[in-house]
């Protein structure tokens, strides 16, 4: 059978989109230049792959192989089997050696670049768009047609995901802004300059312009890089594929593991067995000694002195102070509280700091 005859049979028998037709034609034209006849053994297939132009990327070679393989499988099934159960026409691409593809290098924005994107956003729509992408790590296409009804107290629901409905966690303050932008349950959150619902292409264009204004250049500077960056930050912080899977709403944990592999070096540096047995790093501690040896209970060190903690005076019990603090003093304390809150999200001391600042402001007003 001729190579282009196989293409005609596939296009005549399968319902495919125009973009898929172009993929079939590109792959089959490449194969037809190598051999007018459909390859009859796997060695010819391997020779075709090896002889592809060096200008083709690994992804293109793999795509052409997979396209022709799928077409051959379709013809094999339509031809059917003989009485003895063997195929009337066997697709030799099934036995051929698959192209070897290099690992795709993802690009990740660091924390400073993500903050730069937030600062570069202009207007309510751009600020909300970048905030949602960073905090939820959703896909840009999942924001198209988002309505006020889809936004909850601390999440939003994507009605048109790749594999069905998805729930993305989102900061409650951002959710309130999205509700306000929608105006009503049926109102669309993200609109274009004409006031109509923004398409996925418009949203992507907004994101690329914001990233450009932030001074970030190079390849892979779209909305999906922000999604990858959020996953990378979670992977480095937790070292958990389950946390990445929950954030990105992956169907398979194998996909989430890719981010763990990329962050392995930094995860390794953050792991400290010494910290897990309640020992602060040596340059900051002096252990209580018993007869010249550290005091231990089983395999665990009982107590350690933190030298950094000892730099600060202890607060006596039942002390009551009504300080007259100036603006500079209060501003300094507030900056310390803010920095601590950024580094220790969810820590109970963050909420205690909020209450403390409120009480101090009541005293000095």
Provide DSSP, 237-263.
Answer: HH--HHHHHHHHT-S-HHHHHHHHHHT
Residues 213-269: tens digit of each pLDDT = 999 988 888 999 999 999 899 988 888 889 888 888 888 888 888 888 888 877 777
> For the ranges 3-7, 19-23, 294-298, which has the lowest average pLDDT?
294-298
pTM (predicted TM-score): 0.54
Which of 10-19, 31-40, 284-293, 336-345 shows the highest mean pLDDT?
A: 31-40
Which DSSP string corresponds to 71-108? HHHHHHHHH-B-TTS-BSS--GGGTSPPPP-PPP----
Q: Which two tokens stand for residue 322?
A: 């009504």
Question: Residues 221, 227, 228, 231: is their CA dihedral positive or negative?
Answer: positive
Q: Is 43 helix (H, G, I), strand (E, B) or coil?
A: helix
Residues 278-297: tens digit of each pLDDT = 554 544 444 444 444 554 54
Looking at the chain, list the stretches that DSSP marks H as alpha helix, in order from N- to C-terminal side. 3-13, 18-34, 42-50, 58-79, 111-120, 123-136, 172-182, 200-213, 223-238, 241-248, 253-262, 264-270, 273-276, 307-310, 327-343, 348-364
Considering the chain, what percentage of its residues have pLDDT values greater than 70? Answer: 81
Q: 237 and 262 in contact (C-beta within 8 Å)?
A: no
Per-residue model confidence (pLDDT) at position 58: 80
Q: Which CATH number fits domain 111-269: 3.50.50.60, 1.10.443.10, 3.40.50.720, 2.40.37.20?
A: 1.10.443.10
Distance between the two ends of the chain, CA-based, in angstroms? 91
For residue 298, pLDDT over 80 is answered with no
Cα–Cα distance measured from residue 258 to residue 80, given in angstroms and rounded to the nearest whole number:
40
Per-residue model confidence (pLDDT) at position 262: 81
Per-residue model confidence (pLDDT) at position 188: 92
For residue 210, pLDDT over 90 is answered with yes
Considering the chain, what percentage of its residues have pLDDT values greater than 90? Answer: 18
Mean pLDDT of the chain: 81
Which of 38-42, 262-266, 327-331 shows the highest mean pLDDT?
A: 38-42
Residues 6+ apart with CB under 8 A from 288: 294, 295, 302, 303, 304, 305
Strand partners of residue 156: 151, 168
Count Cβ atoms below 10 Å from residue 59 Cβ, excluding itself: 12
Per-residue model confidence (pLDDT) at position 315: 67
Length of the chain: 365
The mean pLDDT of 330-351, rounded to a whole number, is 80
The mean pLDDT of 63-76, rounded to a whole number, is 90
Strand partners of residue 169: 155
pLDDT band with cut points at 50, 70 and 90 for residue 302: very low
The mean pLDDT of 111-129, rounded to a whole number, is 89
């Amino acid at each position: 059978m001729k190579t282009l005859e196989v293409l005609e049979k596939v296009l005549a028998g399968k319902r495919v989109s125009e973009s898929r037709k172009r993929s079939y034609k590109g792959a089959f034209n490449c194969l037809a230049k190598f051999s007018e006849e459909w390859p009859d053994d796997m060695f010819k297939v391997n020779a075709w792959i090896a002889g592809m132009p060096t200008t083709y990327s690994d992804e293109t070679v793999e795509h052409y192989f997979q396209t022709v393989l799928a077409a051959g499988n379709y013809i094999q099934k339509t031809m059917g089997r003989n009485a003895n159960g063997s195929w009337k026409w066997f697709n030799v691409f099934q036995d051929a050696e698959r192209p070897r593809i290099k690992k795709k290098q993802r690009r990740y924005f660091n924390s400073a670049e993500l903050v730069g994107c937030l600062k570069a956003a202009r207007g309510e729509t751009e600020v909300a768009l970048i905030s949602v992408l960073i905090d939820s790590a959703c896909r840009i296409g999942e924001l198209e047609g988002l309505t006020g009804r889809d936004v909850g107290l601390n999440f939003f629901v994507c009605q048109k995901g790749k594999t069905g409905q998805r729930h993305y966690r989102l900061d409650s303050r951002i959710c309130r802004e999205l509700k306000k932008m929608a105006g009503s349950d049926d109102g669309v959150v993200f609109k274009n300059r004409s006031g109509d619902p923004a398409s996925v292409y418009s949203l992507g264009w907004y994101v690329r312009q914001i990233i450009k204004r932030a001074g970030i250049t190079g390849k892979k500077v779209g909305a999906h890089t922000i999604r990858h960056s959020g996953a990378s930050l979670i992977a480095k912080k937790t070292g958990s594929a389950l946390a990445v899977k929950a954030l990105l709403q992956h169907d398979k944990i194998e996909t989430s593991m890719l981010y763990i592999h990329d962050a392995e070096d930094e995860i390794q540096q953050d792991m400290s067995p010494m910290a897990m047995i309640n020992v602060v790093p040596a340059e900051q501690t002096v252990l209580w000694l018993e007869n010249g040896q550290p005091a231990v209970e089983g395999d665990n060190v009982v107590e350690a002195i933190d030298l950094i903690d000892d730099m600060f005076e202890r607060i006596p019990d039942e002390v009551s102070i009504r300080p007259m603090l100036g603006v500079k003093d209060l501003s300094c304390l507030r900056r310390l509280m803010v920095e601590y809150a950024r580094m220790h999200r969810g820590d109970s001391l963050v909420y205690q700091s909020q209450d403390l600042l409120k009480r101090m402001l009541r005293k000095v007003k």
